């Protein structure tokens, strides 16, 4: 059974840093792209960042580029999100997800397994 | 960025009723579309990927269809446990983008 467990969330002041972790089990971690998706309180879903199997390729939404860093440790089956220069608009529940891949005419990606999430609140 | 527009924003359905939710992309996404269900206080769950492929373990009353820019999710017989918010998502291009969600309630 696929299990993802996020940790590291909490209350942080604007401009400070926080590092989220995600412990994975029940599957071969290195066989999957991984991603972070967030959801602001009572809002919709927003993709944040993705990382390739070996960490060699990373992708970010524009609003976090240069402030957030996604990384992984395949030996520990763990995913991370280093968040620097946090802003109030980063307040959200952050979900760790596996990334599924398929192709019809072009390749496409989807989020097949999700953790329960960890809440990040950026406020003074 | 590819914009995803869902309709309706909310709806209510009776037990056994057929429900359809629409999702329109701002450009052709070549069936690179997924649907998720989120229940209150829970994380989203994948229902459909590739516009019409049913995720393992998802009841067969859920189905997806569409192509180009227009897609839909159908629940063939509304059940109590189907209450929640449904999101569509395009996975063709970064940034992967989601629709704003459709809240489904039991009438």
Question: Across the interface, do B89 and A45 touch by the CB < 8 Å criterion?
Answer: yes
Q: Is B36 on the interface with A (CB under 8 A)?
A: yes
Strand partners, B67: B70
Rounded Cα–Cα distance for residues B107 and B105 (Å): 6
**Half-sphere CA count of A83, side-chain side, radius 13 A:** 31
Classify residue B76 as exposed, middle or buried by CB count within 10 Å of its CB (0-12, 13-18, 19+). middle
Strand partners, A57: none
Question: What Rg value do the Cα atoms of chain B yield, rounded?
Answer: 13
Question: Across the interface, do B98 and A113 touch by the CB < 8 Å criterion?
Answer: no
Q: Does the pLDDT at position A102 exceed 90?
A: no
pLDDT classification of A22: cutoffs 50, 70, 90: very high
Are residues A10 and A19 in contact, defined by beta-carbon separation less than 8 angstroms?
no
pLDDT tens-digit series, residues A53-89? 999 999 999 999 999 999 999 999 999 999 999 999 9
Choose the mutation target among B42, B50, B95, B101 for the interface with A, i.e. most A CBs under 10 Å: B95
Q: What mean pLDDT do residues A8-27 have?
A: 98
Residues found in chain B: 107
A68 C-beta neighbours (distance < 10 Å), count: 21
* Percentage, residues of chain A above pLDDT 90: 93
A50 C-beta neighbours (distance < 10 Å), count: 23
Q: Is A68 on the interface with B (CB under 8 A)?
A: no
Are residues B21 and B103 in contact, defined by beta-carbon separation less than 8 angstroms?
no
Q: What are B94's two structure tokens?
A: 């970064």
Kindly report the average pLDDT of chain A as a whole number. Answer: 96
Rounded Cα–Cα distance for residues A66 and A17 (Å): 13
Tell me which chain B residues have a C-beta less than 8 angstroms from the C-beta of A62: 95
């Amino acid at each position: 059974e696929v299990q993802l467990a996020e940790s590291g969330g909490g209350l942080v002041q604007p401009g400070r840093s926080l590092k989220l972790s995600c412990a994975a089990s029940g599957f071969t971690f290195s066989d999957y792209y991984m991603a972070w998706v967030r959801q602001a309180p009572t809002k919709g879903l927003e993709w944040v960042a993705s990382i390739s199997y070996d960490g060699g390729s990373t992708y970010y939404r524009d609003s976090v580029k240069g402030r957030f860093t996604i990384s992984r440790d395949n030996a520990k089956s763990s995913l991370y999100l280093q968040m620097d220069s946090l802003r109030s608009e980063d307040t959200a529940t952050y979900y760790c997800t596996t990334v599924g891949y398929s192709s019809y005419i072009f390749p496409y990606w989807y989020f097949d397994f999700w953790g329960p999430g960890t809440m990040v609140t950026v406020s003074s | 960025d590819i914009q995803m527009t869902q309709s309706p924003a909310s709806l209510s359905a009776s037990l056994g009723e057929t429900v359809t939710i629409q999702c329109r992309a701002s450009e052709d996404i070549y069936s690179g579309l997924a649907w998720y269900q989120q229940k209150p206080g829970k994380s989203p769950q994948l229902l459909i990927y590739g516009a019409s492929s049913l995720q393992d373990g998802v009841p067969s009353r859920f189905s997806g269809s569409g192509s180009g820019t227009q897609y839909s999710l159908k629940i063939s017989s509304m059940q109590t446990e189907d209450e929640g918010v449904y999101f569509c998502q395009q996975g063709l291009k970064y940034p992967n983008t989601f629709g704003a969600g459709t809240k489904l309630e039991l009438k």
